[in-house]
Structures are given as C-alpha cells and as structure tokens.
Structure 1
Amino acid sequence: MEKLKTGGVYTGTVEGYSSEGLGIVRLDGAVVFVPGTVRGETVELKITRVMKTAAAGELVRVHEPSPERSEPECPHFGVCGGCDFQHLTYTEELWAKRQRVQDALERLGGTDLQVEEILGARNPFRYRNKSQYPVGADGTVGFYRARSHQVVPIQRCLIQSEVSDKTAQAVREWMRRYKISAYDETTGKGLVRHIYVRVNRVGQSLCCVVANSRQVPREPELAAYVCAAAPSTVGVVLNTNTRRGNVILGDRYRTLWGQDFLMDTLCGLEFKLSVPSFYQVNRDQAEVLYHKALEFAGLTGQETVLDLYCGIGTITLCMADSAARVLGAEIVPAAIDDARENAVRNHIDNAEFFCADAADIAAKLEREGLRPDVITVDPPRKGLSEEVVASVAGMRPRRVVYVSCDPATLGRDIKRFAGLGYRAVRACAVDMFPATCHVETVVLLSKGEVDSKKIRVEFSLEDMDM
C-alpha cells in the first residue's frame, strides 16, 4: 500500500466487483475499488483514499469500453445512491450477483458448493411495490445521495412504480401549497420526514406520511392531493415518529382517509398488508423465490414445516398446501395478527402462528420436543444468531431451507450449520433488486454425518490457500 499515493493516477484492469458493486482493480497487489467501471476494462483511475488494506479510486478514463458497458437510463445515476449497476448490461449485472454469492459460499461458508443459477427478472424496471422517499430539510423529495443523508430531488425513479412517484410528488405539492415544514434531522424540528407508498398488483396504493408530530396541518387537503394524483389510492395514513435517528417508521398510526391496509395477491394467495408489514418489494421475483424455496423443501404432503421470521406468513402459507402442518414464528405482533388473518382469508386450516423472538421460539419448541421435518428461515440482513442456528439444528429437521438477503451473513451461517451436521447441498440466486447490488439466495441444507477432523483439515487447507 505504500506505493499508492492519494491523488496519484494509475492504469489497471478491472477484475470483478465488490459486494457494493464497485469495480476491483489490483495495483501492485493492492485492491482498489473504483465505481462506474466494468469487468475486463483497462482504465485510468485516480486514488482518492488510501486505507490499511485497500484503496478507493475514481474513474478518469476508460481505454476501451467493455461490450457489457451500458448507458444508464436514469439521469440521476451516480448522484442518487439507490442504484449501483445501471452502467452494466443486465447480463453482466446477473454475473456480478451470482459471483458475489459464489464467493461468499466459498470464502465465508467454507464450501465448494456451486450456485446452480441466478434467476433474473423479466422486467428490471418499475418493480418496487414499496417506496420510501426521504424529505430534505428544505422540502426536497427524492432519494439520498450515495453514502450521505443529502436528499437528491427526483420526480421519476425507474425502479419505483409510477403510482408511487405521483403520490410522492402530490405530497410535495401539498407541503409547498400550505407551507408544511419538513423535518430537519440536525435540529429535530419540522414536520414531514418520509413519504411511504405501497402499491399492489392491480395498481391500488396506500400512502403513509411520516411526521415528527401526531398531527399535521391541512390533513383533509393532504388526502385530497394524494387521491387526485393517484385515484386508485385506498387509504392515507399518518405515522408519528418523534425519535432522532434514521429509523423511518414510528409506532403510532392514524388513518386520515380510507383504510390503513392494502390487499395483494402472491403465489395465488391473498395477503393483507399494513404499513409496517414485511413483504418482498418485488412481487414477481418473490414468486420465483418462493417457488424455489418450495422446490428445495421437497414436501410430499406429510411433513411438519417450521417457518422462522415468517412476517405476515407469506412463505408459511405458500407451503401449507404441500405440507401436513405449518408453523410460523415472528417477533412483530401486528405481523402475526396479519398472518393469522391471512390464513383464515385463504381458507388454510393447517397453519399456526407464534409471536416470539426466533431464538426464543426455536429453543422453546426444541424443549417441547417438536421435530419438524423442514425448517425455513428468512432472517433480516444480519442473519441468524448462533443460538438460533443451534436450536434449529437441535430440532434435527431433515432439511433446512435458508432464504437470505445478504450473502456474507449467509456464508457465515452456513459454516455454523456445517459444524452442527448440516451441509449445504443446493444454492440458487434470485435477482430481487435489479439495478442494485443486492441479491437474494436460497440454500438447501441437509442433515448428514459429520467428521469433525475432516472438516478441520479442509478449513485449514482453505486458509493456507488464501
């Protein structure tokens, strides 16, 4: 690292991509991360920062563009921090995401399991059914600049639904017309913090305005502006968040007009979505993901399935028709209420839901002697705790289906499962978030005999190779 100097200009070849979608260039053995570059290109770059084990750079010139380079369709790309890959063809984006999962399985998971495929989206635009627009202190509505809380004014985003964009602009016009203040996170003063919109399969929408107060001026006019811009709106809700920090939603909700929920269909089932409900943001790809999870589960109709981190019961209920009994666990009470309602709504009578922390419910069911045939987990980005992994393994299911939104924590947890006798035998990536660096993965873990000495030797050899 001593040879690289901040401000220095160097020439190198892009070898691949980081987990954040940055191009990787090696200079004298040092890794330099360069945004906006494409694998295979020879580029001139300027070092902007030298760190202990790597460096950051910016693109100066591309000597010969890769055939996989694409002209970004969004004029805000590179300024707004929402998208990472609009400078790539979709084929190259899928390669980068599949490779990211493969690297995590090998380096962090200690396995040579190959990612079978990556399932791309038929339409990589306008796919998000949930949109969250931050509001800047000056009333700007848009999205954050990369690695900052500065709001970039954006009226049209190519990965949000058009209904969401129109709704956000309607709220902005309401604020401007009636001089409604925006929240300033540096002072803690002002009212409107975020605009939150859900949209269902048929174009109906639910609007939630997040405010630093239990009420805002001109509430009837707010509803009128929203409904005029998006006539298929089913409800306008006010959420109160008076806490400092970057958590979007508070705990209090009040319906200003219409209803406080939205109905949607997924995998042939109907689901009720309240504002805080966890629901995959790409409906079409969620169906692809859940069908793959169902395939990995290998159900015959005789099994008991336990679904941890079940949310409003999407995976649980999608598996109910193929199992004898399904159980879902989730820590959010409102989500469990919705899950139970969703089971009744879809005439599913072999599903049970528990409101508890995943580690607690897993340990409780293990103590009670529950022996599910299949356990599915779909944890948040931080993955599973060691306690959850131990409890899952302690119930001795034949198969564990792990749905992950973060390859790094997935790799870590696969290694933990391996130490408890569960080997990763299948893996598939699903592109749930086109244009961004995020990727979903489904992994099947199977119970097998463990030779602890053999595992230690294999890990030792891998470390030596690294």
Structure 2
Amino acid sequence: MKKIPADKKFLQNIQVIDIAEEGKGVGKSDDLVIFIDKAVPGDIVDVELIRRKKKFYEGKIQNLVKPSEHRTEPFCEHFGVCGGCKWQHLTYDAQLQFKQKSVSDALQRLGKVDVSHMESILGSAESRYYRNKLEYTFSDKRWLTDGDMRNGETMEMNALGYHIPGRFDKILDIDHCYLQADPSNEIRNKVREYALKAGISFYNLKNHEGALRNLIIRTSSTGELMVIVVFAYADEEQIGGMMKFIATEFKSINSLLYIVNHKKNDTIFDQDIHTYCGADHIFENMDGLKFKIGPKSFYQTNSAQAFELYKIARDFADFKGDELVYDLYTGAGTIANFIAGKVKNVIGVEYVPTAIEDAKINSEINGIKNTSFFAGDMKDILNEDFISAHGKPDVVITDPPRAGMHPDVVKRLLEIEAEKIVYVSCNAATQARDIELLQAKYVVGRIKPVDMFPHTQHVENVVLLTIKV
C-alpha cells in the first residue's frame, strides 16, 4: 500500500456511479477508481483519499456536495459500525435496482448469458425484522464508538453483539437490532443485564477465556421460539443460574438449550446439545408443510421470502407430475419436500449427514413417501453407479453454497443431460461461471433474482436451463 501525496489527498466533485458489495460507493476521477465509504450512486462528493491500492483508492466523504435521489437516512443507530445492513443508506427501491444490475452484470460478463429476457427482481415484503435466526457473541473487548469515547466515563467493556468487520476480537454492543422480531432484542438485552449483575465473565476471543460465549435466537412463522446459550469455561452454578433466569423471564420459549464449547471456533455442529427445558426443536411451516428445526438445522433465514423463492423454482421447473427430480445440495430437504407433491420421485443429495437426517424426518412428519436422501460429497456421490441405481433425472434442482458447484459436478450434469436444470444461487458470480460451462449443452431460459436480505448486497437468483434439442 503506497502513501498518498499530501497534494493529491483531496478530490472535489466526484460523481458516484455504482455501489460495491461491501456497501461503498464507486467513483471515478480521470482514470482513478475510488471506493468511497457510505457514498450512494448519484451522489456528488468531495473525497479524502485514505488508502492507495494497486488498482484503486479508498476514500471517505469530506463533503456531500449533492445528495443522490437514492439516498435515505439509515434507521439503525449502529449503521456504519456494525458489519451488517451496509446498504441502509440506500432506499429499498434503489437496493433492488442495484441488486438486479449486479446479477445482470455477472451473468453477462462471467457467463456470456443473454439477459434481455431477465425478469424483474422480487423484493421482500418485509425489509425489517425478516430474519428467523441471529447469533450474538459475548466479549470482554467491547468496541468503543466515537460517542462512547466522547462520553469520557469509565465504560463497561463487556459486550453482547456483533463482530466488528476486520477485527475478530472486538464486539459491538447492540442495543436494538432491526433484523429479528420481538422478543429477540429483549432476550439479548436481559441476558446481558443478568450476566453483568451476576458477575459472569464474557469470553475473550484472543486468550480463549471466559464463561459466556454465544447467544443464538431462532424464531419461526408458527410463532415458536428457540434460545441457545453457548458457554465456554463456566461452572455448573453459572450455567444453572443463567438458564433458570431465561426460563423464568421468558416463558414463551419453546426450546431452551445450552452448549459447552471449549474449541477455538464458534461452530456448534460438532458439539453436544443440552436441553434445559421444552423441546429440542421448533417447527417451521411452509405451504402447509411442517419442517422440524433443531439447533444445528439449516433453514433459509428469511422464512416468508424462502417460500417465494421455492415457488419460483417450482414454477420454472413446470412439473407435469411424472418427473424424477434430483435435488442437489438439498440441506434439510426443504425444496425436495416442497416439490414432492408435484412429481413422481425426488432424490436429495447433501454433504452434511445431520442435514440429511433432518430431511428424512421432514418427509416423515409430512407423510411424504416419494423422497430419498443421501449424504456425501456431491462430486463423489453423483457418479455413474448412482445414476444407474436411482435413474436418470428429468429435472435437476441445484442450490449450492456461495462457492458454486465443483467442476466435476458441472461435468457430471453435462453427462447426465437432464431435460431441465433449475439453478438457485446466492452468488451470481459463481452461478454465472457454472452456467457458462453448462451452456455447452443447455440454453438459458428464465432468470429471476429474489431479494432475501434487504439492506445488504446479497441476492438470490433462479435460472432455468433447458437441454438443447
């Protein structure tokens, strides 16, 4: 990183022309590309350059000369410090516009896809309190904001909230979060208050010391509530006291669980779950189907919009009723069970064995008899023997993680030659990369982005591919 000369540190009247994934506006001055913190496309700004990288500069707004029509006042007091909701300063209509553009650009540039027939993005009916799961972190290293430091008082250094971007050991103490509906905020704030009064230590992420580590809250469209407290080095009295407090204070909790995690990472998938009271699960409902949600279960975090996403995938497939469908990266079998009533058979494949067990249970509790689920690495399990044993699919639905599909999986899909592939993706760039390869035998049909995560850069996209005749 090269030092910026003092006489070139300030630029005036920079037009902001785009927005980057991390929420920074993109401006140009002659041949310079500048990523400007909290700038909005359409702004005209005076910029202070703060970093020089190889191909671009980073800067901050020194003076807002003319605000964009897309600019709006962020509604959260934590905006700009918290690592989430980085597009809050954009109107929601503008967010949808730029998400549509990001998908279109990726498909054209990386996938060589004709997007002239691309459908309009489906916005989320709710742009606040839309998440059904949040995870908070306890830390004895609270991030001090400018307001905290101006206060000048001795600050409480324990915090319960979110990681500061780029500072794994620093946690922003959260007062009110607009991502999850009540009683999420009340639970978090009262848990923190109890811990402070009881003198229970908060975790130190560098030294791996302390009693309280994480707080996970899951809600569902059925009104059910799950709370998981993750302890590190807590004694039985501290665990018992905290769990009794939560159970007494929040009688609406359906599933109250705890974990003791001594590992150096926060993942709970390899940890034992202890049920303090209630059930070890809650239920989600979608289109008349019940889905059992345990502490380790994967379920789309925007329940209402997940329903819309899956309806679009089902509509793109245009099932006639006699199809054999492969549901790749099936997770807990949500899509597989969702479409089972419209097809002859569904075969779901997923890497995580516990997710496959959830998928089987979800079929069982809904009385679904035409699904089969298999656990294994997709590139290994989807071989000739597997196809021979289970049949060639008429339709493949694939919903891979952000990294997209392994090249061997793409190669196998080209060999299978299913009549249709419905590709659901949370990363248009890797989706475009895979589609470019699939176009050797497939034609891109319908394309529709879906906004699952308002006020962030993230966007889902559904693409229909049909085998060439």
In structure 2, what is the equivalent of residue 139 of structure 1?
A: 158
- Computed over aligned residues only, the root mean square deviation of the Cα atoms, in angstroms, reads 2.1
Whole-Å separation in 2 of the counterparts to 1:36 and 1:9: 17
Query: Greater CA deviation, 251-260 or 303-312?
Result: 251-260
Cα deviation, residue 393, structure 1: 2.2
Q: 1:336 to 1:82 in 2, by over 3 A?
A: same
Cα deviation, residue 4, structure 1: 6.7
Identity fraction in percent: 35
Deviations 1:265-323 (A, max 9, x none): 02221000011111000011101100000011111101011101111111001110110
Give the partner amino acid of 2:158.
G
Q: 1:277 to 1:99 in 2, by over 3 A?
A: same
In structure 2, what is the equivalent of residue 67 of structure 1?
A: 69
Q: Does 1:381 align with 2:402?
A: yes
Query: Greater CA deviation, 171-180 or 375-384?
Result: 171-180
Q: Does 1:111 align with 2:113?
A: yes
Q: Which residue of the other structure, out of 129, 133, 136, is the alignment partner of 1:126?
A: 129
Deviations 1:95-114 (A, max 9, x none): 11111111111111121224
For 1:409-428, list aligned pairs within 5 A.
409-419=430-440, 421-428=441-448
Q: 1:46 to 1:238 in 2, by over 3 A?
A: same
Cα deviation, residue 185, structure 1: 1.5
Q: Which residue of the other structure, out of 342, 347, 351, is the alignment partner of 2:362?
A: 342
Q: Does 1:182 align with 2:222?
A: no
Give the partner amino acid of 1:370.
G
Deviations 1:215-257 (A, max 9, x none): 6533333233223443320122122332224646542211122
3-state SS of 2:67 partner: coil
Q: 1:197 to 1:369 in 2, by over 3 A?
A: closer
Give the partner amino acid of 1:322.
K
Q: 1:415 to 1:174 in 2, by over 3 A?
A: same
Give the partner amino acid of 2:58.
A
In structure 2, what is the equivalent of residue 391 of structure 1?
A: 412
Cα deviation, residue 258, structure 1: 1.9
In structure 2, what is the equivalent of residue 90 of structure 1?
A: 92
Q: Does 1:20 align with 2:40?
A: no
Give the partner amino acid of 1:49.
R
Deviations 1:187-236 (A, max 9, x none): 11112221111101133211111222586533333233223443320122
- Residues 223, 257 of structure 1: 8 Å contact kept: no
Query: Greater CA deviation, 232-241 or 313-322?
Result: 232-241
Whole-Å separation in 2 of the counterparts to 1:228 and 1:383: 45
Q: 1:215 to 1:439 in 2, by over 3 A?
A: farther
Whole-Å separation in 1 of the counterparts to 2:386 and 2:5: 57
Whole-Å separation in 2 of the counterparts to 1:5 and 1:281: 46
3-state SS of 1:190 partner: coil
Whole-Å separation in 2 of the counterparts to 1:442 and 1:61: 40
Give the partner amino acid of 2:166.
R
Whole-Å separation in 1 of the counterparts to 2:332 and 2:226: 17
- Residues 215, 227 of structure 2: 8 Å contact kept: yes
Cα deviation, residue 337, structure 1: 1.5
Cα deviation, residue 161, structure 1: 2.0
Gaps of 5+ in 2: 141-156
Whole-Å separation in 2 of the counterparts to 1:216 and 1:143: 27
Cα deviation, residue 383, structure 1: 1.2
Whole-Å separation in 1 of the counterparts to 2:389 and 2:408: 17
Give the partner amino acid of 1:147.
G
3-state SS of 2:245 partner: helix
Whole-Å separation in 2 of the counterparts to 1:36 and 1:223: 41
Cα deviation, residue 414, structure 1: 1.3
Whole-Å separation in 2 of the counterparts to 1:15 and 1:198: 39
Whole-Å separation in 1 of the counterparts to 2:398 and 2:193: 42
Gaps of 5+ in 1: 450-466
Deviations 1:79-133 (A, max 9, x none): 1111111111110011111111111111111212243111001110001100111
